[in-house]
Amino acid sequence: MAKTVKLGILFVYVILLFASCKEVPVTERKQLILIPESGEMKLGEDAFRKIIKESKLSNNRDIVDKVKKVGSRIAKASNRTHYKWEFIVIEDDSTANAFCLPGGKIGIYTGILPYTKDEKGLAAVIGHEVGHAIARHGAERMSTALLAQAGQIALNLIVDVDDPMVLDALNRAYGLGTEIGVILPFSRKQELEADRIGVSLMDKAEYNAIGALEFWKRMKQGRQGKQPLVYLSTHPVDDKRIAEIEKLLQIKK
């Protein structure tokens, strides 16, 4: 009997693995995702409402309108029509950061605006964050973690996304605790992949992709002699990221 149960569990895992193989947009990398997109989007919506409630939103109409304008163009280029796109600007000059939660919830901290400078730079930031979202990097990371844990958690996730234990796992995977409020930093491989997707989205949205290279160079300069900027912590080293974007721009020529 025990052997039969084990074989049954193994069979379920094999089915899940085959049924959950996805392909990243642009890069076409194969990935494993066990999280239903509907549940992922619900988490993003809930977290976004919490962030809005706990943050000071900018009332600078010019900045907010520019973020919405650029964001809308990038969002359209992503071809995710089922996402409910929203854009906010958070008043925090000490935080050079941005995020895009599942389902298209985008936040820009005012601290990153000196580095974006213009619409091209802003498109680079938003394109990068949207790249994470449409590649479902957070769901991929959590799926990998779930596979390393008890099978029951993974199965509960597939069956019932409202399970408190599952929601807690989702929150940890996305780094959506109150003390963080943004997506957990991704792996270096995913960061470079988001850069590549972001450049592609900029191109589709008719923004000069050179703006991505200029933006990251400004971010590198901003790090000199200072503590690492939040936006770059746990990310690829500056020179590596810049070199990879330069390669992408050479391919485009």
Can 37 be counted among the known catalytic residues?
A: no
Burial class (CB in 10 A: 0-12, 13-18, 19+), 237: exposed
State the DSSP string of 85-138.
-EEEEE--TT---EEEETTTEEEEEGGGHHHHTTHHHHHHHHHHHHHHHHHTHH
Band the pLDDT of 118: cuts 50, 70, 90.
very high
Residue of 129, 191, 193, 214 marked active site: 129
Return d(Cα 88, Cα 64) in angstroms, integer. Answer: 7
pLDDT in tens, 13-43: 544 554 457 788 888 888 888 778 888 888 8
Do 200 and 213 touch, CB atoms closer than 8 A? no
Write down the mean pLDDT value for the chain: 78
Which residue, among 244, 150, 154, has the nearest Cα to 197 in the 3D structure?
244
Angle, in degrees to the nearest 10, between helices 137-147 and 119-135: 30
Check pLDDT > 80 for residue 166: no
Instruction: Tell me the domain boundaries of the chain.
Output: 25-252
The most confident of the ranges 102-106, 122-126, 134-138, 166-170 is 122-126
Position with higher pLDDT, 101 vs 183: 101
Indicate whether 176 pLDDT > 70.
Answer: no
**Beta strands in the chain, from DSSP E residues, in sequence order:** 21-23, 30-32, 86-90, 98-101, 105-109
**pLDDT at residue 252 greater than cutoff 80:** no
What pLDDT score does 66 carry? 98
The pLDDT tens digits for 50-85 are: 889 999 999 999 999 999 999 999 999 999 999 999
For 95-117, b/e burial (b = at least 16 CB within 10 A) is bbbbbbbbbbbbbbbbbbbebbe
**For the residues 194-199, what does the mean pLDDT come to?**
95
Euclidean distance between CA atoms 134 and 102, whole angstroms: 8
